[in-house]
Amino acid sequence: MSGGGSIANDGEAAAGGGGGGRGEVTFTVVMSCLTAGAGGLLLGYDIGVTGGVTQMESFLQAFFPEVLRKMSSAKQDAYCIFDSQVLNAFVSSFYLSTMVRKMSSAKQDAYCIFDSQVLNAFVSSFYLSTMVASLVAGHLTKTLGRRNSLLIAGVLFFAGTLLNLAAVNISMLIIGRILLGVAVGFSSLAAPVYLAEIAPARWRGAFTASIGLFGNLGFLMADMINYRATTMARWGWRLSLGAGIVPAVIVIVGAAFIPDTPNSLALRRRLDEARDSLRRIRGAADVDAELKDIVRAAEEDRRYESGALRRLLRREYRPHLVMAVLIMVFFEMTGAIVVAIFTPLLFYTVGFTSQKAILGSIITDVVSIVSVAAAAAVVDRHGRRRLFMVGGAVLILCQVAMAWIFGAQLGADGGRAMPRGYAVAVVALVCTYTAGLSVSWGSLSSVVTSEIFPLEVRSAALGLGGTISSALTFMQSQSFLEMLCSFKYGAFAYYAGWLVMMTAFVAAFLPETKGTKGVPIESMGAVWAQHWYWKRFVKLAPAKQADGPE
């Protein structure tokens, strides 16, 4: 195998090798992509609702009263308001007994108000279960099909939401979070693969980026509900957590009606169904050329019925392994997840009221949606690498500016809040950061990872990447509030350093995979074979250019 098995010598010829480049944007492909993209609603809603509910008085009163006492303390250092071990457990479920120790202090560092291991556990238990689910989701997505995996994700998210809605103790919350995490583990792998496999090559980036758009719609939906729910004295948090039923139902209903991808059907030897699915998706009578590529890739996969993860260690898959690991690591180290989870807490920290903090999050959600839509509109014209570079520069500048403002202004007068002008500047910087993230790593990490892998290792590579991503998110959601409390403004400089590193990596090692030349997904090997560095690992075998499989 030589990196994806192209049937052509280069990207231009590859366009002629398959029908993906000239496929029409049919009604079926649009509805299927909307449904698969809606898988992003699950992750977006959960992250958005978690960030709001963890500073909602009705929720804290019911489960974390000690944190609420810290919030109302007369004099606190703003970095430490949320420095409570119990609050962390809601965001991992382990450290309930350690919360009381931190809450009794009369004076707190302002960075540490929300530093609670139990509150962190509530947040991070979701990501721990997502990590575990990712270990098996790759295999199940391959054997059960992409569409069925989306359906399973919707059902599990529905069940987890019901459990959280009815929760009367921490245990019910954590179990519900675990079910939600498993659901997102399945959808985060199945949705981008589904989109990459059915989208016409020319528009593959735009369709795959729809996951980010739906994720941000999930954020907006969650923050708008949180904004209203925070005014409800006793049961507002139940409205916030329970409204997750809506995205779950959207995914369940949509997945029940869309076709599975022809690639997935070919893998399971259902060739007639694969041909019918391809005709429905492409809207063209002649799909034989693209189907031939898909069948060839499926036959290559069946030569190695097991050991896909082991095959990733082989020399010809070295670029794919590097990207599977580093793209996910770098995405996490943008600080995207912790900013998404803790934005309301961050705005509260700089002096806004609870409801205004959620309003600030709504503003950033709107900025993010507009930015993701803009990225989807230009990604297939200007390419992935250029957007990564521009976004990286914006993110670096924002993190450095945040470090300076927090270091110079937060708690400067001995109190919790920073001067109002600087607090507004923090909101503006978070919005700019959100825009830069949305047009680069927020949208493109899933685009690139879903399109660069050969079919025989695609599920395994994405499963590995999902596991790494979930593990890092778990670690960050469990430790971010403590890091903010300990490092203070240095936490932002920490992420800025990572952004410099990852932007340099993209400039040197990420090949351009845009589909404007019509390169079908199963002919992506040509892209790697032309890269200045990766071509030493990926070679196009001459036999792949014949009219049939070897």
Q: Compute the distance between CA of residue 136 and CA of residue 467 in angstroms, rounded to an integer.
A: 10
Q: How far is CA 31 from the centre of its chain?
A: 21
Top pLDDT among 115 and 375 is at 375
Question: Quick one: pLDDT band at residue 341, thresholds 50, 70, 90?
Answer: low
Instruction: Please give the pLDDT value at position 6.
Output: 35
| Angle formed at CA 43 by CA 240 and CA 503, multiple of 5 degrees | 130
Tokens matching residue 105: 């202090």
For the stretch 345-355, pLDDT in tens is: 677 767 777 67
Amino acid at 396: I
> Rounded to an integer, what distance in angstroms lies between the CA atom of residue 501 and that of residue 331?
12
**Rounded average pLDDT over 260-270:** 87
Summarised one tens digit per residue, pLDDT across range 271-287 is 888 888 888 887 766 67
Q: What pLDDT is stored for residue 53 in this prediction?
A: 80
- φ/ψ of 76, rounded to 5, equals -135, 150
The residues that bridge with 78 in the sheet, in sequence order, are 111
How far is CA 294 from its chain centroid? 27
Cα–Cα distance measured from residue 443 to residue 335, given in angstroms and rounded to the nearest whole number: 14
CA pair distance 85, 420, nearest whole angstrom: 29
**Mean pLDDT calculated for residue range 498-521:** 80
The enclosing H or E element of 90 equals strand 90-90
Identify the bridge partners of residue 88 per DSSP, sorted by sequence position. Answer: 117, 119
160 pLDDT exceeds 90?
yes
Comparing C-alpha atoms, which of 230, 252, 88, 104 is closest to residue 170?
Answer: 88
CB atoms within 10 A of CB 401: 18
The full set of domains in the chain, from first to last, is 24-76+107-258 (1.20.1250.20), 308-536 (1.20.1250.20)
Structure tokens at 129: 């279960």
- Summarize pLDDT for 58-107 with one digit per residue, the tens: 787 878 777 667 666 534 555 555 555 555 544 543 322 233 233 333 34
The single residue listed with the structure tokens 């403590």 is: 482
pLDDT at 310: 75
Beta carbons of 156 and 39 less than 8 angstroms apart = no
pTM of this prediction?
0.68
More confident residue, 300 or 549: 300
- At 70 the pLDDT is 63
pLDDT at 265 over 80: yes
Taking alpha carbons only, the member of 461, 446, 478 closest to residue 127 is 478
CA distance 334 to 428: 18
Of 233, 238, 235, the closest CA to residue 176 belongs to 238
Helix axis angle, 384-409 relative to 354-382, nearest 10°? 150
Give CA–CA dist 277/272, Å, rounded: 9
Amino acid identity at 35: T
Q: Model confidence at 180, in pLDDT bands (50, 70, 90)?
A: very high
Cα 546 to the center of its chain, rounded Å: 39
Percent of the chain with pLDDT over 90: 12
Model pLDDT for residues 16-41, shown as the tens digit of each residue: 344 444 456 778 888 888 888 888 88
Q: How confident is the model at residue 183 (pLDDT cuts 50, 70, 90)?
A: very high
The pLDDT tens digits for 203-254 are: 777 787 788 788 888 888 988 898 888 778 788 889 999 999 999 999 999 8
Instruction: Identify which of 402, 385, 361, 430 has the alpha carbon closest to the alpha carbon of residue 496.
Output: 402
Residues recorded for the chain: 550
Q: Are 475 and 121 in contact (CB under 8 A)?
A: no
From the list 371, 357, 374, the residue with the least C-alpha distance to 424 is 357
d(CA 426, CA 417) in angstroms, rounded, equals 12
In the prediction, which pLDDT does 245 show? Answer: 93
Residue 550: which H helix or E strand, with range? Answer: none
Decide if pLDDT at 427 tops 70: yes
Strand partners, 117: 85, 88
* 184 in Cβ contact with 130 (< 8 Å): yes
- Pick from 118, 257, 132, 123: nearest CA to 183: 132
Quickly list DSSP for 338-357. HHHHHHHHHHHHTT--HHHH
Question: For residue 13, what pLDDT is reported?
Answer: 36
The pLDDT value recorded for residue 56 is: 78
Residue with tokens 């927020």: 442
